[in-house]
Amino acid sequence: MAKGKVVREFGDDVSTDIIYPGRFMATVLPTETPQFAFADDAEFNKMLKAKEVAPGSFIVAGKNFGCGSSREQAASCIKGYDFTVIARHYARIFLQNSINVGLDMVICPAIEAAEGDELEVAAGKVLNHTSGKSFPIEPLPKARQAIIDAGGLIPYTRRLLLERAGR
């Protein structure tokens, strides 16, 4: 269950260039990518770097969130701020990159939320406490959700290997 405020609302077709501009591609470490999150949105980037946005906040988007290139940094820079992304639909490669890095994300085709709204993700739906409306979630397959819950593909695989080794 996640609960928090919407810190940014985006429409459709938000590309990985908006999330993580290509000029920063030389920086690949997940510990370093967050500083470049939404770098071309100077106000939002400044708020992020100054830690003025609470961990556990929400980014809400329309269809095709994460379209464009296959850069994993677009997912890891968001993960670095411990956001949950709620989108109507995700671009295929971004979706898989997000699962691999353990980014908390929700597919909610009917989501209606604005910046500042208080949201809660619980029991298969997103509750917008500000508007009083609720919206059904399209669940990820159990195997993909297990990877996210483990913190990403590497921790998930490590855990499986240790379990098989009897540790």
Q: For the chain, which residues make up each domain, given as ranges?
A: 2-138
pLDDT in tens, 56-79: 999 999 999 999 988 899 999 999
Q: What is the pLDDT of residue 157?
A: 96
Q: Band the pLDDT of 26: cuts 50, 70, 90.
A: confident
SS3 66: coil
Residue 15 confidence (pLDDT):
97
- What predicted TM-score, i.e. pTM, was given to this entire model? 0.93
Which residues are paired to 106 by β-bridges? 86
Coil, helix or strand at residue 114: coil
What pLDDT score was predicted for residue 27? 80
- pLDDT, position 70: 87
What topology is assigned to 2-138 in CATH? Aconitase; domain 4 (3.20.19)
Structure tokens at 49: 């770097």
Give the pLDDT mean for 24-36.
88
Residue 166 has pLDDT above 90, yes or no: no
Query: Nearest to residue 30, comparing CAs of 129, 102, 120, 85?
Result: 102
Mean pLDDT of 73-90: 96
The DSSP bridge partners found for residue 87 are 61, 107
Q: Can you give the pLDDT at residue 93?
A: 96
> What average pLDDT does the segment 88-94 reach?
97
Q: Which tokens in the block code for residue 85?
A: 């992304």
> What region does 51 belong to: left with phi over 0, alpha with psi -120 to 50, or beta?
left
